[in-house]
Amino acid sequence: MDIFVRKTAYTGPVQSVILDWAGTAVDHGCLGPAAVFVDVFAGAGICVTIDEARQFMGMAKKDHIRSMCRLPSVERAWKAKHGHTPDEMDLDTLYKDTTVRMVDTIANHSDPIEGVVETMEKLRAMDIKIGSSTGYVQEMMDVLVPIAQEKGYHPDAIVCSSDVPAGRPYPWMCFLNAMKLNTYPMEAMVKIGDTVVDIEEGLNAGMWTIGVTRTGNEMGLTPAQVADLNPSALAKRLAAIEVRFKTAGVHYVVEQTADILPVISEINEKLLAGERPPLAG
């Protein structure tokens, strides 16, 4: 391809998309990781809620644990149980347990979300490459990637938090994806994810961002559980997630990754007009 030099606005099409894994591409509801964090803290004698576990989803797993340990409720419970607030040694122990449990759990939460495989093939037919980023580390991806591939989901580039100096919301995983996919400039890329830090990662990388509401961590439900919700209750929950994403600065919101094709077309129109991803705020 011709090398774009930033003397004028980029007016070409979207070249690549980068998808999160759990809740965006596989594992409807992001159920596997959430359950693991609850179990890990329970193993240390600390009761945490699923909501406490979910609020840091998308971060590198050690950062996730560190953030949970800083919750006032966890600090109080830890001090009552162990005589001190969580220290780095405790953090390392929790992380080791998380890695073991996550590896064991991932295989059971590897099904592609409905429509994802077909949507990726349609993107490839548009000459759009598929990248991916995740808070999982390499040991976890070594289990997830081959199983997901057997089920039809196979990104062109895979980057995990252990491949870069720091995970989300830092943009490093997006930049490494860009290098692996040979994509430039960054406004020719779209970040798709189901958490606030997914959105922040894409914004920090200078990319277009799409937030996924119904299938992801923020909703936290299986397809059957979503289907059982009263329509008005579902609409209320989706609207609340959309507000959180828009507050974070997301450019577009969809219910599921299978809904992104019209958004990609709209982004292409904006790029053709010389527009760049607007700044948050």
Cα–Cα distance measured from residue 249 to residue 241, given in angstroms and rounded to the nearest whole number: 13
> Of the residues 7, 27, 39, 61, which is catalytic?
61
Percent helix, strand, coil in the chain, to 5, is 50, 10, 40
- Degrees, nearest 5: CA angle 224-137-25: 30
Helix, strand or coil for residue 172?
helix
Is 61 one of the annotated active-site residues of the chain?
Answer: yes
Strands 208-212 and 129-134: unpaired
Structural element, H or E, at residue 19: strand 16-19
Type of residue at 214:
R
Which residue of the set 20, 63, 163, 194 is catalytic?
20
Largest CA distance in the chain: 62
3-class SS of residue 17: strand
Packing angle of the helix pair 88-106, 138-150 (nearest 10 deg): 10
Cα–Cα dist 146/267, whole Å: 32
Closest of 273, 281, 230, 272 to residue 251, by C-alpha:
281
DSSP, res 133: E
Please identify every residue annotated as catalytic.
Answer: 20, 61
